[in-house]
Structure 1
Amino acid sequence: MPTLVHDAMSRVVLTIGPAHTLRQAAELMSTRRVGAAVVLDPDTCGLGILTERDILNSLGAAQDPDRETAQSHTTTAVVFAAPSWTLTEAAATMTRGGFRHLIVLDEREPVGVVSVRDIVRCWTTREEGGAAARGRPVPA
């Protein structure tokens, strides 16, 4: 049976507003140990995503993280995943879109975020379990 997004996703959904500075976003992401934040704009009822890469690109462009806001760096053309997607579907979607995180929606509400790391962890764990069950050594 294929592993589903529901099984791999992080249920820690960091939600920030568009007025958060990049420094504030980075501090929250670091504290929660997540690589992306869901940006909820109550004025537009829209969801976006701010990733560690967005913050890195801003810093690389010598922008001030205390003045730059999440709104200016948020991806609003977001592709969402459903908890019932297979990890293969999620990975294919990420590959086609060139991104590393998907917001997982259930009934239009964010319930998680799935990352490339989450997918690799699940596939690796499953493969290691299968190798051990077949009597093959599992790499350390």
Structure 2
Amino acid sequence: MTTLVRDAMSTVVLTIGPAHTLRQAARLMSARRVGAAVVLDPDAGGVGILTERDILNAVGAGQDPDREPAHLHTTTDVVFAAPGWTLDDAARAMTHGGFRHLIVLDDREPVGVVSVRDIVRCWSSAREGAPVAAPAGAVAV
């Protein structure tokens, strides 16, 4: 049986606005135990993603997380996944693009995020013959 993105993705998605500071984004991501936030910016064309690595790179470069807005560090040239993609499709897109998260769109709306961790969990469970369901308390991204 082929596992689909809809079976592996987190459906509780952390969304932030472009004016959130990196510290605000980091606090929200930490509180929700997620590695990425979907940035909704209608003025800049819609949906982007801010990852923990984006924040780490900004802080490592000496930028002030209390002053740096999320939109300056958001990836807007995003590769989106569809709920009906296979996990192989998602893994291939991640490998090709060099990212660890894909925003899942259905009818142009974000409905989830699938991460490398989600894919590994599903593949590992499938190898062990265990159910593929997300662990209790799993949250977005």
TM-score (norm 1): 0.90
Q: Which runs of 5+ in 2 are unaligned?
A: 131-141
- Separation in structure 1 between the aligned mates of residue 5 and residue 128 of structure 2, nearest angstrom: 19
After superposition, what is the alpha-carbon deviation per residue over 1:84-118, rounded to whole angstroms, capped at 9, x for unaligned? 00000000000000010000000110000000010
- Separation in structure 2 between the aligned mates of residue 45 and residue 14 of structure 1, nearest angstrom: 19
Per the alignment, residue 36 of structure 1 pairs with: 36
- Separation in structure 1 between the aligned mates of residue 8 and residue 113 of structure 2, nearest angstrom: 9
Aligned length: 130
Deviation of 1:44 after TM superposition, in Å, equals 3.2
Deviation of 1:54 after TM superposition, in Å, equals 0.2
- Percent identity between matched residues is 79
Per the alignment, residue 84 of structure 2 pairs with: 84
Q: Which runs of 5+ in 1 are unaligned?
A: 131-140
Per the alignment, residue 25 of structure 1 pairs with: 25
- Structure with the larger RCO, 1 or 2 (CA within 8 Å, 6+ apart): 2
TM-score (norm 2): 0.90
- Read off the aligned partner of 1:89 and give its amino acid letter: D
Matches within 5 A, 1:1-140: 1-129=1-129
Moved over 6 A (4+): none
- Separation in structure 1 between the aligned mates of residue 44 and residue 3 of structure 2, nearest angstrom: 34
After superposition, what is the alpha-carbon deviation per residue over 1:37-95, rounded to whole angstroms, capped at 9, x for unaligned? 00001223411000000001011111110001101000000000000000000000000
Please tell me the root mean square deviation across aligned C-alpha atoms, in Å: 1.0
Q: Which has the larger radius of gyration?
A: 1
